[in-house]
Chain A
């Protein structure tokens, strides 16, 4: 991470196009998109289905590559990294929270949280310790040995958040983190994300359909037809 990264924006998306091919048909999801995300921001991305929110999140997280343009995170052009280096970059800098939690069903909470740490040089006991700390942060220190099927949706999502923060990543990317939860559980998850942003300075990008969820963010942007706007009215247009 360069020092100027915080000033210029931790994430810099410049003139990005993303085109998907379905047979001979080309689908333009993002077109000439620019976005700056300063370090420590909690950004909510809203927009209708198919507007490209998740695609943009995937590009920022290095899960996909732009068809054109540049994606820079912490001063590094991640769109130019090889697959192997991009995977290593993701392991080091990105924490992901999914709508449907995506926990490994055959691993208990502790082992699920330990998963990203398998890619580090930490010893077994250090991995265990760190996982326990992450689970403690999300309030699940009493559920270490529970398997996903024995946890509620809200608890599973909190395990997902613990897994996302256990490596102390630069960026926390959340794709509809409350989309599969009831209001109460959703609020708990959002409070947790807010706390991580406020107390630990985590930069968070959250895709959501929920206006209440977006209200927790420090900034909200709206994506429609591949373009970003600051005003929700544009969604209607």
Chain B
């Protein structure tokens, strides 16, 4: 600690240079934090996907529907605990840009299947008793300022009502929260029975099934068993783990994780050169002073430590501020106004950020520090 003052005053020596270097590091870490949240959003739910949950969809594609009767047959497979269906509604609220997931579900079965969806008892009861009842996630309710009791009109883009009307009206009876930070609270859920009897076509068909199995270690076996039931039928299925299903969804718009990693790597490489150059320059212009320190009795390691300490302080200030500002910006919410429903920086990425600070210190500072440590006093004093 007693050397901290020395390290700190050295950084203050060229204030403008230090500020600019800190700012460049700050921007890199801010970008890292922000992009981590975006990546997390694109892989939404994958991390929190249940290991004991499988998704059964039509073998051809997710947009091909399956009979609702599949549910009973799936539940007969040994090892299956429960199966629930969901269907993509694809409507918009007020204008086309207000697009968010809406799904007709069986309320009781859905809540049992997704314990991470937290709904109050009274709201749950109201949903069960109201055929046109719907529940909205906290995020979407906050976004549109909905409150319980509101009547929500949704314009269908796929499922028109009997008679051709495209507007569906739902009574908001509940607002659900997520049990985990990664739980999607941007969904709008309504009753399948109301939907099925009101839609113009497609009665008895659903989008896909979520299946809970008793033993996650037998998931491969269960996948094969479920698909075998419907093999060679009009509605052949493709079953996969929930995580893989969600990943497939995310991959539809490209490997976002890889793209973001590439951007962050390019930014960090550039900043590494900036920080390394700053440290190298700082050591070069202080050759004489470093030699004096060694003449006074500072060891090679001591001088090496001082230079590395300076580099660490520079990186820690820039990196720490960058991560903090990134966290602050991310905590202000989804910048797209709803397209990134799960928007937060995972703890894992914050930890990676801290590790990056240390790595940047070592990589940017080690060469100048070694150069400083190896200074020959008599030679350096003559310069």
Contact surface of A with B, Cβ cutoff 8 Å:
55, 58, 61, 63-64, 83-84, 87-88, 90-92, 94, 96, 98, 102, 104-107, 111, 115-116, 118-119, 124, 163
Contact = CB atoms under 8 A, between A and B. Distances in A.
Contacts of A83: 299-300
Contact of A84 (B12, B289, B296, B299): B299
Given A98-B381, A105-B13, A116-B297, 18 more contacts: A58-B377, A63-B377, A87-B298, A87-B302, A88-B297, A90-B297, A91-B297, A92-B297, A96-B295, A96-B296, A98-B292, A102-B288, A102-B289, A104-B292, A115-B6, A115-B293, A119-B302, A124-B2
B13 A106 contact: yes
B291 to A, nearest CB: 8
Most buried by B among A94, A115, A163: A115
Contacts of B377: 58, 63-64
Given A63-B378, A102-B289, A115-B293, A87 B3 contact: no
Contacts of B300: 83-84, 87
Contacts of A124: 2
B9 A106 contact: yes
B294 A118 contact: no
Interface string B347-377: 0000000000000000000000000000011
B144 interface: no
Contacts of A84: 299-301
Contacts of B160: none
Given A64-B377, A102-B288, A124-B2, A90 B296 contact: yes
B378 A119 contact: no
B296 A116 contact: yes
A107 B299 contact: no
28 contacts: A58-B377, A58-B378, A63-B377, A63-B378, A83-B299, A84-B300, A87-B294, A87-B300, A88-B299, A90-B296, A90-B297, A92-B297, A94-B297, A98-B292, A98-B381, A102-B381, A104-B9, A104-B289, A105-B13, A106-B13, A107-B6, A115-B6, A115-B296, A118-B2, A118-B3, A119-B297, A119-B298, A119-B302
B131 to A, nearest CB: 76
Nearest to A163: B296
B10 interface: yes
Contacts of B298: 87, 91, 119
Nearest to A104: B289
Interface of B: 2-3, 5-6, 9-10, 12-13, 288-289, 292-302, 376-378, 381
In order of increasing CB-CB distance, the 5 nearest A-B pairs are A91-B297, A87-B299, A64-B378, A90-B297, A63-B377
Nearest to B2: A118
Contacts of B293: 115
Nearest to A119: B297
Nearest to B379: A64
A119 B295 CA distance: 12
Contacts of A63: 295, 377-378, 381
B380 to A, nearest CB: 10
Nearest to A89: B297
B292 A102 contact: yes
Contacts of A94: 297
Contacts of B288: 102
Nearest to B13: A106
B296 A91 contact: yes
B12 A106 contact: yes
A194 B217 CA distance: 87
B156 to A, nearest CB: 70
Max count, chain A CB within 10 A of own CB: residue among B6, B13, B378: B378
Contacts of B10: 106
Nearest to A61: B295
Contacts of A90: 295-297
A163 B381 CA distance: 17
Nearest to B5: A111
Nearest to B378: A64
- Specify which of B2, B5, B289 lies most central, judged by the most chain A CB atoms within 10 Å of its CB: B2
B132 to A, nearest CB: 73
Contacts of B297: 87-88, 90-92, 94, 116, 119
Most A CB contacts (10 A, CB to CB) among B3, B288, B295 go to B295
Contacts of B292: 98, 102, 104
B87 to A, nearest CB: 69
Nearest to B1: A124
A83 B10 CA distance: 25
Contact of A118 (B6, B295, B301): B6
A91 B293 CA distance: 10
Contacts of B295: 61, 63, 90, 96
Contacts of B13: 105-106
